[in-house]
Chains A and B, each alone.
Chain A
Amino acid sequence: MLSLIVFLPLVGVLLITLLPKKFEAAAKWLALVTSVVDFGLVIALLTRFKIGSAAIQFEKEIAWIPQVHIYYHLGIDGLSLPLLALSTLLIAIATLASWKITVKPRLYFAMILLLSVGLSGVFLSLDLVLFYLFWEIVLIPMYFLISQWGGPRRQYAAIKFFLYTFFGSVFMLVGIAALFIYTGSFDMIALRHLTAGLGSGAFGTVAWWIFAAFAIGFAVKIPIWPFHTWLPDAHVEAPTAGSALLAGIMLKMGLYGFLRIAVPILPQAFHHWQLILGILAVVSIVYGAAVAFAQTDIKKLIAYSSVSHMGFAMLGIAAGTAAGFSGAMAVSISHGLIAAMLFLLVGVVYERTHTREIAKLSGVAAAMPRYAGLFCFASFAAMGVPLLSGFVGEFLSLLGSWGSAALPHVLVVIAGVGILLGGAYMLWLMQRFIFGTPSAAIEGQPEISARELTTIVPLAVLVVAIGVYWTLLLQYADPIARMLQKLVGA
């Protein structure tokens, strides 16, 4: 089942590659069908998933290179299931949002499907080597999406994206190797006990360094200040679907790494890192919000807002409490929905006007009222208004970090100020972009189309559903959060 979910898109890739050039327009249909079926499989999985347990389900383990204890090992739990669902949903939506791609469509849609393979693989792997493999696979299609279909500075942004995140993953690889040297295992679940067996004596110092290696690898991906500068370039230059996938799901790989690997496997080292991570998280929150406020490019503004929002997730993790972990997971999903929505919406206007300059875009409300309503909705969700999903994660992160013994209360208060600053840049954007009298670029533009609506509405529905009924998401997150809290002993 899990293998099917991971590798089904590969079938799509194969079919697309076999398409003759004459029928290249069919590539998008192939991609859409494949991704929707893949998402359907995840839904089927969702219904069979046993809720309320932190155990790994649907586990599959096959010896791959047994000589060095490398296994093809897949499994799913409450941590990875929501992310897998989000990832497959966003892939399907990204395909639909790319309907107007006419340049090299076969390569484009093959890359989107390949991305799906990498993402599902990352969230389902339980073997560190396999995990690393999928982790790097993700880079390749995204590199091409940016460098081939991106904006004017796409080459620069793509290479920078590749190198920077690659730089991070090299550290992660070192961490994986070191873990193996000390324990002789790549099993992400078994390692929890194996490292505990090593005690905190001599291994304590080493563990600190291994945690550091993982933390750098994941921090680049999330990204946490000061490793974030690849993000604005990549998000801005990527095509709409690329930005939505980057912000929507790829950033979450870093958070997932913390929750799946760094924290549970090295809980002792985590204690030494909590305060540092908490401080960096709060810096990210405030700094991201402040820099977002200064932007004149709408995509860049949303890109920096991601830095700020990811800070809340990091803060929740740094707290080391159940509420904090739940908060981090909720931010992952909620920001995935909201940021994807915002990038897709920006893409709608970009497709019509070919500009991202806020100064040239104003008065959208008068020209495209339905679009404006959706944008305001997404903005309020991003601001963390209750009853929408953005509130759940940020609130739980604050709740969890207030209750954390490792973090001083002042950090929480500063993070709270970050929520206020989040309101500032978002409202300021709405005032310039949505309201006012229509600018020349906006005047007379057609209202959001049915296809475009179809890409937004499922996300909006989920944003409301999770915001109103937290259990929908937290039933998966809470058992994991409790397990993590127990492991770190807070």
Chain B
Amino acid sequence: MNWFFLIPVFPALGFIALVFLSRAWRNRLIYIGPVLVGLSALLAIIGFIRYFPGRVIGQPFASLSWTLARLGGVRLTLSLGLDSLAILMLAMVSIVGFCVQLYSLFYMKDDERRGWYFCVLLLFTAAMLALVTSGNLLLIFAMWEVMGVCSYLLIGFWYKDEAPRRASIKAFLVTRAGDLGFFVALAAIWSACGSFQLDAIIKAAPQFSAATLLVVGIGLLWAAAGKSAQLPLSVWLPDAMAGPTPSSAIIHAATMVAAGIFMIARMMPVISLSHVALSLALWVGIITALFGAFLACFQTDIKRMLAFSTISQLGLMFAALGTGAIDGSLFHLITHAFFKSLLFLAAGTIIHVTGTQDMRKMGGLAKRMPIMMTIFSIGAFALAGIMPLSGFFSKDLIMEEFLTHGHPVVFALALVMATLTALYVVKAWFTVFFGASRQEKSHAHEGTLLEIVPTAILAAFTLLLGVFNQGWLGCLGFKVEMPTLQMASISTGVMLIGALAGFLLYRFRIDNDWLAKHAPWLLRATEARLYTDAVYEYLIIKPYFWVSALLWRVDARVIDGAVNGMVALYGGLTKLAEVTDSRLIDGAVNGIGAGYKRLTAVAWIVDARLIDGAVNGVGAGLKQAGGLAKKAQVGRIHAYQRAVVGAVIVLLIIVLFVVFVVLKGVA
């Protein structure tokens, strides 16, 4: 047992402590959130310093395993393992988590349900920390789902409004649609090697059949596409911004959405055995990167712009995984986590002081909040890929990977994406911080210490992670070199082009209003997110509502109608029989006689309803049955009661028959 396994335990304990309390006590105890995550962060940093150098991915220096169950006698093992990647991710998640917790103290201070917010956030942090430590695919999946629930709860945190509720369902269901792939992949893996342990899977993978490899590869990529908001499952992320901003910072920017990338990186030795899966990742990723960057250019809502930017950056990481190498992708995952959560938190402050998310209503904030502006700028410039901020280095590593692995087209597309990124970042930067304030009355002011400290920590990482990449990234076993002069000039060149374009768009006010006049179709298309949502709306959601209502009618009228119809018909027949045979029905003998008649009646109904009905057209028969079913309820009950009598008689006959047979057998 290694002490560092306690890292996920602290926030989990916090969750358990808070969840059973009353609202008032929960609200009082929110401080345990930052304290516990801070402890995790401290431990993770110690672990990082002590263990990180010289370790190799996939070779844990400490592990912990236990048996979850036995399946057909086979042990189903779960495990945690600390390898260099795990300890790196632990450090990242807990540091970002700590900053977000700290910031949330400020951001949520007036909310009456803040205790619940911290409670869910703690559960989320625990799940993410456990996920990155997991040495087992099933455990990864379990934590992945728990995070999905937390994401649902936090997106829908302000549940009295319509938008958060809708967004939370959308997020949960779309990611769950992705999880279908995870299910299938897990089932295929279990069938192929009888274990979910990562090392066992990786060891057995070369012997997997091609079909298994394909199913596993595509299933896992599909799952990652759901979690990491890749096309066509990217639709949930922009709406997810309805949740509290700090929760967006950690869940929908830094960690949960990166879990898809992380999982694929972990499983790369298996996925890279399928060329189809690799190409799929490459192309889905780069198209998503372009899609997100393109749409980010048109956003006026600062959080939505950041959300599209996240989709785009995750797309770049996804594409990088498609080269079969994981170093660029993981490098970018780490740097992106820091600068994007920084951007979200800083945006939270901006939203707080201006009271709007609409960038068009901001402006002139540079003078009013210089410290926050500086911090935001560090994040923004890292996103745009300006040297020497971290984003520049990690993006360039990915670019180089595209070239070295022979994907020049993807490389070119990535350059386009980089240009667009610089464009929207610079445009937004000018719009928010410069010019005159576009609000009638601006109360904008500098952020408080609780806002500045966490964002400043993140900014420090953003400043340093890139320059000192060899210091830490090399420890993952990657050979990372400083970008070549050639690559640096190309990427700086495209960045400058984009930045210039962004400035010009800002300077000459070529914005959505301008588009509405000159190219309304483009505005419409971007507002509809290139019709991605419409595809779901018209191909899946509406048809499903329709099918579900139809099946419900079928169930009530046809299936149940057939049952009721049979009974009603039977009831009518017995009534008829009673009337005609009333003189015959007399005494004890009649019981059997009537019973027999009823038996034949049943046979007749079966014959008429089922066999004849099938021949003559099922539709007509069912329609009739449905009509009968609509008869008054009382009549139906009588019919049923009569049927009870019939059934008892049938039973009696059967019992007599059985006894007869039995006695004969004994004799």
Contact = CB atoms under 8 A, between A and B. Distances in A.
Interface of A: 67-68, 153, 155-156, 159-160, 162-164, 166-167, 170, 173-174, 177, 180-181, 184, 226, 228-230, 287, 290-291, 293-295, 321-323, 326, 363, 365-366, 369, 376, 380, 385-387, 391, 395-396, 398-399, 402-403, 412-413, 416-417, 419-420, 423-424, 427-428, 431, 434-437, 469-471, 474-475, 478, 481-482, 485
A323 B165 contact: no
B640 A323 contact: no
A322 B169 contact: no
B156 A398 contact: no
Nearest to A469: B68
B666 A67 contact: yes
B184 A163 contact: no
Contact of B186 (A164, A363, A369, A399): A399
Contacts of A153: 633
B411 to A, nearest CB: 36
A170 B647 CA distance: 9
Contact of A163 (B156, B180, B544, B647): B647
B552 A420 contact: no
Interface stretch (B458-466, B510-518, B573-581, B657-665): B657-665
B620 interface: no
Given A156-B640, A386-B141, A412-B187, A291 B180 contact: no
25 contacts: A68-B662, A160-B563, A162-B644, A163-B643, A167-B647, A170-B647, A173-B651, A173-B658, A180-B661, A229-B555, A290-B547, A290-B548, A290-B552, A369-B23, A385-B146, A403-B190, A413-B180, A419-B176, A427-B152, A436-B159, A470-B69, A471-B69, A474-B70, A478-B69, A478-B70
B143 to A, nearest CB: 8
Nearest to A386: B142
B637 A155 contact: yes
A293 B654 contact: no
B69 to A, nearest CB: 4
A294 B186 contact: no
Contacts of B67: 471
Given A170-B647, A478-B69, A416 B636 contact: no
B69 A435 contact: no
Nearest to A423: B176
Interface stretch (B45-53, B71-79, B287-295, B378-386): B71-79
Residue among A153, A156, A475 facing the most chain B CB atoms (10 A cut-off): A156
A180 B650 CA distance: 20
A226 B663 CA distance: 37
B184 A416 contact: yes
A470 B76 contact: yes
Contact of A295 (B169, B552, B560): B552
A159 B637 contact: yes
A447 to B, nearest CB: 10
B177 interface: yes
A165 B661 CA distance: 25
Contacts of B152: 427
Contact of A170 (B180, B187, B651): B651
B177 A420 contact: yes
Nearest to A478: B70
Nearest to A173: B654
Contacts of A326: 71-72
A424 B72 contact: no
Contacts of A481: 71-72
Contact of B173 (A67, A321, A391, A424): A424
B137 to A, nearest CB: 12
B641 interface: yes
Contact of A412 (B169, B184, B643): B184
Contact of B183 (A164, A398, A403): A398
A162 B645 CA distance: 12
B559 interface: yes
Nearest to A477: B69
Contact of B551 (A177, A291, A391, A412): A291
A208 to B, nearest CB: 20
Contact of B658 (A156, A177, A413): A177
Contacts of B555: 229, 287, 291
Nearest to B639: A159
A481 to B, nearest CB: 6
Contacts of A376: 153
A226 B551 CA distance: 12
A482 B72 contact: yes
A395 B655 CA distance: 42
A325 B622 CA distance: 37
Interface string B140-162: 01110110110011001001100
Contact of A291 (B142, B166, B548): B548
Nearest to A160: B640
A434 B76 CA distance: 37
B188 interface: yes
A206 to B, nearest CB: 14
B567 interface: yes
Given A399-B190, A471-B68, A416 B643 contact: no
Contacts of B177: 420
Contacts of A427: 152, 169, 172-173
Contacts of B665: 68, 180-181, 184
Residue among A68, A164, A435 facing the most chain B CB atoms (10 A cut-off): A435
Contacts of A365: 159
B579 to A, nearest CB: 23
A469 B196 CA distance: 16
Given A155-B637, A290-B544, 15 more contacts: A156-B633, A156-B637, A166-B647, A177-B654, A181-B661, A293-B545, A363-B160, A366-B160, A387-B142, A391-B142, A403-B190, A412-B184, A427-B169, A435-B165, A482-B72
Contacts of A380: 149
Contacts of B187: 398-399, 402-403, 412
Nearest to B541: A424
B640 A163 contact: yes
B483 to A, nearest CB: 41
